[in-house]
Amino acid sequence: MSALAAPVQADDGLATWIAPARTALVIIDMQVDFAAPEGRLGQWGVDLSTVPPALEKAQALADAARKAGAPVVFVGLFTRPETDSSAWRERMRRRGGDPDSDSGLCRAGEVGSDWHGPKPLPGEAVVEKARYSGFHDAPLDSVLKGLGVDTLVVAGLTTECCVDCTVRDAFHLDYHVFLASDACAAYEAEVHAASLKALELNCAILVETDQVITAWEEAA
């Protein structure tokens, strides 16, 4: 177990903090282009070896949330040519990329945007976004308020990017955020660890999947 994700002690009341009546599981960007060898990043040669364990843990969280009666919310990147902002394209160009051929991550309606790993069941909320944060120009906040929750357990990809941005915005919106450290991944272990440390210092309480499952089993 990582020192960054030291277990919350039993007398700290985790089962109360993340009680299913007040908590949603939010799964971020577990999609083909980010997580599958046949996806865009896999085709570009990115090492995806850190991803499968996080997918398995996120699936375990989804199963446990459903059993306990906690809502599961899927947040995904769904881009279109009109959402490729000038800032995004220029940043890509300055980094040596080709904005015309490299912009199409998770294109809506294409295989790259399909879920990979845990998948939404009928009736579960799916929030589409076109930027890193699930709250930016997307209805995540209203979806969560509609569910009556004030607490989030977060899993997803990647730790330093869309998970980080979503967690920070959730904290700014006064949600209690619990980040499942082993149900998230970055493509580099040191980036994952550094991001967890920063989020733990500022925005989230780090937990591990088994802790969350145990708490939800107690609640059930």
Q: Active site includes 29?
A: yes
Which segments of 96-162 does DSSP mark as H helices, in order? 99-102, 140-147
- Our CA angle for 59, 168, 109, nearest 5°, is 50
Q: 33, 106, 161, 162: which one is catalytic?
A: 162
Which of 193, 188, 106, 109 has its CA nearest to residue 179?
A: 193
- 184 tagged catalytic: no
Catalytic site residue from 129, 164, 165, 184: 129
Q: Report whether 58 contacts 27 (CB < 8 A).
A: yes
Q: Is 87 helix (H, G, I), strand (E, B) or coil?
A: helix
Point out which residues pair with 27 in neighbouring strands: 74, 155
**33 annotated active-site:** no
> Among all residues, which ones are annotated catalytic?
29, 129, 162
